[in-house]
Structure 1
């Protein structure tokens, strides 16, 4: 461990003693033996008793062995170099499966395939059919036994996972902090066309990638009351007393960089009772009451996003957020004090904390509490440290999505934090009155406390006031939050220097190299493999866009991926789809602003066109939906039912045949996305302009060669700037026109009455064409929304959407023209690597430097570049 401090520079710890030599890296040739040894010695199984899950777990442990020494060495180096560390606080980390990603990043994919082949030979010699069957026909059969880590719901968690991969690949000293949920949001099943939520018990068979850290445990407080007094020196002291206490226990998961020596860490917290059970109740025979405290306590980390439509759900959600924030900050402060315990002057120089959306915003009050109540700092010093440590990423343009907590709830659950928030607000409003004298309306708009019934704490405002940086996740999104009065316009006018754009990105290691081996190979064969760490290198592909031989290879790779998905659909949906048809995808969370309904209206219109003109030369399509609706979101769930009912009618209409098929894939997940993205021809990114903050699905589709049909929303605009409008299919109102139309008095019924084809489509839904006789009027709530407010302007954009879809048809019929556009899309996706995003965060927000890890005397670097 490094010694405490350096007297010459208070922000540099003294050099540590040289690290003890670490064991030599396990060689590839040992891989097969290591895999079999773990089966026997870690799981106590042999090849005759092993299940496929056993083979997966033992393989994961063999891979983890090859991570551990680098993992330890990485942490040693961060102490030796006294590096500034980045802490990424997020309620979600949708990391998917770890096995394939680890093999690629460690450069062990071939070694694993060779080990699989060796063990297959051994099993064949035994002539034991059951053992061979359990081992599977290919390594992929074993990889598929890994469950998706149910640590997230959508784009927020997938972005966080990409960022962690990029931070490790860029050799940045970084940590992810979150909650180790026992259950994900839910496992989605489709029954009778309806979404049915079932528990997502992803930890049923354990998690071989994580290491429990019983020594990494912190006490987290709730409820109680605040006691203030003056000590014998007249200094005001504050105690938070008579609290309910929960223990947060750490579970660590390694995050390897791509073919370098860096292995960073995700630390997830599980709630544990302070006592396993009350012994007095146990002795009295009341066994249920003896364990009730344990059950009540540990529910905090049971499930991702409890239903917060009821007061109990709201309270649990607030407790979840404080639970992981408090444990994380205690851990961060404790790590800092190991080498800098004289004072906290250097804290912002050694610690950068990024708040991923508003969920961790309570961290502002919690760090103040720690610095004030536990470390004895003055208010001004604690506040300066807090603001210079935190940075906040906003992910929404929908005001209703900005988190608020009632003052009553906050005062009950976190009374000390509410007290601190009121003091922050008091001082902040004094500043507003100084800068904008006499503007009491502005004071009310910017107050952290929203007056009303109930009175609320505005958590996004707390995050802005308590951070030195506030970023949006695309250029358009950032401009909207800066200029919209109901968002952060007032704050931008006060602190323009705080606001900046950091357009989202994706990791090409998972979202091209891993998920699309066919396309990755032909790219690397043509231009080399530097694109894996410098995505701008894909620009070299542009000169081959017209090359007929290269186009044929491109088409072959796409067809292989489409066949893989077609096989999946045949197995899981019992539906045969035409691999030669255009695979048209809209896969994302089901939400009105994402406008899956607009897609459905087009599908029904297309169905009507084929029925009317069956001999017309239609480009055949398979329209594929996937995504989950929040359990309490009635309209979104009804939309899933509509999609499935429309699919049922169209797919069974013999007159339609292969010209049009509709598919809803249940339980959308990272691993399912890894099958979908490579198979995509068309990517539907059709949200109402001005509503999607960024999107990352649009990037994944385009990186895998799909062409985008979309609005000028979110990162679609920046994708257009890179790939050019002629290689996309753009339609609809832009963000300014949307506001203009709404302000001028939008009438959806006018569009309905004046467009006969649109009217026919809506009337079919309303009149029960897609309902059983037993469910008349089932979709009337959807029709009421459409013809009433139509909040997201589907009818206004419908006709232009059809125009763009017809342009899609004509282009798809010309295979060479389509393939050229596909190649050019991929060639121009360099800007959308999460490596570029993270490099911008590191340089412009965190002021953090890479730290190269030397392992066995060698340093392996794979530095991605910001510019091509």
Structure 2
């Protein structure tokens, strides 16, 4: 149907009439998009059904990847590419007078994630399907996602991201697979047939309804599933005219509180209502998902004892860690297993990825909140903690330090990372340095107690989206040079190292980068009304806005560069365009001030003719996957400047190198492994090492005032934050000033400032030798195959999940 151009055109036109009652010439872009989407999903369905049937028939073990985020981006282009029908559809539509690029633009980015955590989950799903591995995603169908970002007067303003306004052409609602999730109430015990039973009373019931989305493998007919859960009310049959006004209000309140569970990603947790909603969200996801998995397992197997042989449940960060007590609850209360049997099954089924070394990101929940919202689950957590502490004390009598460190419940809170480690059979970090830090420092007591559980799985990205899809010009040139094997086996990109000094290939690389920069410049012009020089260095930092990611270091350097240009506009330096994209959490006051600072500095610099257009600053609002797909191929310098030891891995760094950008960064996360891959000559490294940062945290000895008093350039940019030179109103940026000086610069921005300036100077000088710069770019592309998520997923599959 979709593999023959003429057949495609006929079927497409018939479907357009059937769905929208219109001819091609009169159809809107949205109507054409929906028609094409429905055809493609129908085309996918046969493989989807066959894949599931194959898994059932063969009885293969399947993995379920639980994540609060799946940052998918747009799916039309990647689905067409993976199905190997992209060219047929593009040419067929073109003959009907339709540009497929315009149709793809009509698709909203799915509002299912925020940053690297969610994009990693999406890349993993792509790799699972493309490697023909039985693995599925389990997440939440957010009605509005995070938020749509608008920049007004330099400030971030949050609007609802109504990505489902026109529906979602890729999803299928599965009402018959809905399950109940219970909140609140109280638990009593009674003896039933000589066994202690736990009875849950007076609880609030929420209906969890699954929406399934296909995950299409690359040219292999495999289609896995991303199941997203939506919260709906269970009101039952009632006569609206015979109930009291009070009852009607209660029903409305119940409906509102239920639907709120899956409205927004990461509700504002600065107040108790928001925190309660977050905890509800997390339990809703794991309870619905695990009930569904067990129901499916029992349909095809005789009992739950074989669960670990047939199912692997993986929790992505601490958000889904309630999977541990929830699986125990079901095995104990519904399946009537003994504690020991349930514990053995659970601890052979669940594995956990840690994504952070930041203390505030190691999630905790107040005991009172957990007990009131999830009474039975909390009882199980208490029992897990009691038994585990008893075991630790028996093995290490008198070791109070060890016990205090590993307790799951302590100081009135439930420590979710501790619960995850105790309840899982595998704990992995996401870069070599990150894993070593959690083993030797952050979780050293757990590592001493459970050394066999800890392992490293360095993150990866799907090269099919981030090179083949996002940068087709580069992908085509690579295929012409080394063949197409790299698409199935990305380590084949290493062959490009042989062509680093090939003049013809260098020229092609420069031409492609220039073309990609032209595309980005058009978007900047359209969205920001700003003309940028495509011959300038495109220096890019696009990622979640957080103090440890140090966007503030970047903007302070821009201010310093501007100061120097104001003093001497004839400085011999290549023109630079600094490009930012980032969202700040709505309640993260500091991060929102940094956005305001970037936009204020941009306004000053972009309107100053004195500096001869040598400097431009761009903040692209509402950063998202589809925007990244345009920015990354156009980038010259990739800013990966987080404080060493704070970024677990990073995946943006991998996407940039795969597209020929040069990393300018600290020895943090996967930057270290990127440096090992490309060599010191093909990356710009600066700043404190992880051990130096950790040593400062442990023993002290750093004073940001020393930096302020020692370096006139630091003093000048700091003073500009609180004088009228930058701040439009007194106090605009005092919070940033205070964090760096009064609060002693927690993330060592000022300590790394001079080394950062020096690294930027070195990068600028290197760019002026275009032959050398292009050689560096080629070497980065050549070594990027190691960072494909295919490699990562093969390691998870063989070493953690044991799936084939």
Tell me the TM-score normalized by structure 2: 0.98
Q: Call closer, same or farther: CA 1:349–1:25 in 2, change over 3 Å.
A: farther
1 CA distance for matches of 2:604 and 2:723? 15
2 CA distance for matches of 1:495 and 1:27? 57
Shift of 1:281: 5.7
SS of equivalent to 2:751: helix
The answer as to 2:227 corresponding to 1:270 is no
2 CA distance for matches of 1:440 and 1:848? 40
Contact in 2 for aligned 1:448/1:462 (Cα 8 Å): yes
SS of equivalent to 2:414: strand
Give the match for residue 824 of structure 1. 779
Shift of 1:780: 1.1
1 CA distance for matches of 2:758 and 2:243? 75
2 CA distance for matches of 1:636 and 1:448? 31
Give the match for residue 218 of structure 1. 179
Give the match for residue 37 of structure 1. 14
Contact in 1 for aligned 2:2/2:89 (Cα 8 Å): no
Match of 2:645 among 672, 676, 690: 690
Unaligned runs of 5+ in 2: none
2 CA distance for matches of 1:757 and 1:323? 52
Unaligned runs of 5+ in 1: 1-23, 121-134, 850-868
Give the match for residue 372 of structure 2. 412
Shift of 1:34: 2.6
1 CA distance for matches of 2:89 and 2:2? 16
Give the match for residue 546 of structure 1. 501
Contact in 2 for aligned 1:584/1:622 (Cα 8 Å): yes
2 CA distance for matches of 1:116 and 1:250? 33
> Alignment length, in residue pairs?
801
SS of equivalent to 1:207: coil
Contact in 2 for aligned 1:256/1:262 (Cα 8 Å): yes
Contact in 1 for aligned 2:590/2:735 (Cα 8 Å): yes
Match of 2:739 among 781, 785, 793: 785
Give the match for residue 385 of structure 1. 345
Shift of 1:832: 0.3
The answer as to 2:121 corresponding to 1:160 is yes
Q: Call closer, same or farther: CA 1:25–1:378 in 2, change over 3 Å.
A: farther
1 CA distance for matches of 2:14 and 2:436? 57
Give the match for residue 707 of structure 2. 751
2 CA distance for matches of 1:48 and 1:113? 17
Give the match for residue 194 of structure 1. 155
Alignment of 1:354-753 (within 5 A): 354-451=314-411, 455-484=412-441, 487-742=442-697, 743-753=699-709
Match of 2:758 among 784, 798, 803: 803
- State the Cα deviation string for residues 108-143 of structure 1 (Å, max 9, x = none): 1101111112211xxxxxxxxxxxxxx5xx211111
Give the match for residue 856 of structure 1. none
Contact in 1 for aligned 2:351/2:426 (Cα 8 Å): yes
Match of 1:763 among 714, 719, 737: 719
1 CA distance for matches of 2:339 and 2:229? 29
Alignment of 1:180-259 (within 5 A): 180-232=141-193, 234-259=194-219
1 CA distance for matches of 2:95 and 2:101? 15
Shift of 1:77: 0.3
- State the Cα deviation string for residues 808-850 of structure 1 (Å, max 9, x = none): 011000000000000000001111000000000000000101x
Shift of 1:295: 2.4
Runs of 4+ in structure 1 deviating by more than 6 angstroms, as ranges, are: none
Give the match for residue 863 of structure 1. none
Shift of 1:288: 5.7
Shift of 1:609: 1.5
Shift of 1:488: 1.1
Shift of 1:181: 0.4
Contact in 1 for aligned 2:3/2:88 (Cα 8 Å): no
1 CA distance for matches of 2:253 and 2:645? 48
Contact in 2 for aligned 1:516/1:678 (Cα 8 Å): yes
Shift of 1:285: 7.0
Contact in 1 for aligned 2:211/2:229 (Cα 8 Å): yes
Tell me the TM-score normalized by structure 1: 0.91
Contact in 2 for aligned 1:768/1:777 (Cα 8 Å): no
2 CA distance for matches of 1:329 and 1:68? 25
Shift of 1:548: 0.8
Shift of 1:37: 2.4
- State the Cα deviation string for residues 597-655 of structure 1 (Å, max 9, x = none): 11111111111111222122111100001100000011100010000000000000001
2 CA distance for matches of 1:396 and 1:740? 18
- State the Cα deviation string for residues 240-286 of structure 1 (Å, max 9, x = none): 22211000001000000000010000000001101278534666578
Contact in 2 for aligned 1:731/1:801 (Cα 8 Å): yes
1 CA distance for matches of 2:664 and 2:131? 33
- Across the aligned residues of Structure 1 and Structure 2, the Cα RMSD in angstroms comes to 1.4
SS of equivalent to 2:304: coil
2 CA distance for matches of 1:112 and 1:264? 23
Give the match for residue 146 of structure 1. 107
2 CA distance for matches of 1:289 and 1:701? 52
Match of 1:321 among 277, 282, 285: 282
2 CA distance for matches of 1:26 and 1:250? 31
2 CA distance for matches of 1:552 and 1:443? 62
Contact in 2 for aligned 1:277/1:293 (Cα 8 Å): no
Q: Call closer, same or farther: CA 1:281–1:391 in 2, change over 3 Å.
A: farther
- State the Cα deviation string for residues 327-372 of structure 1 (Å, max 9, x = none): 100110011101112x222110100010000000001000000000
Give the match for residue 336 of structure 1. 297
- State the Cα deviation string for residues 147-203 of structure 1 (Å, max 9, x = none): 000000111100000000000001011110010000011100000000000000000
Shift of 1:27: 4.8
Contact in 2 for aligned 1:281/1:289 (Cα 8 Å): no
Shift of 1:394: 0.5
Give the match for residue 50 of structure 2. 73
SS of equivalent to 2:275: helix
Bigger drift between 601-610 and 698-707 goes to: 601-610
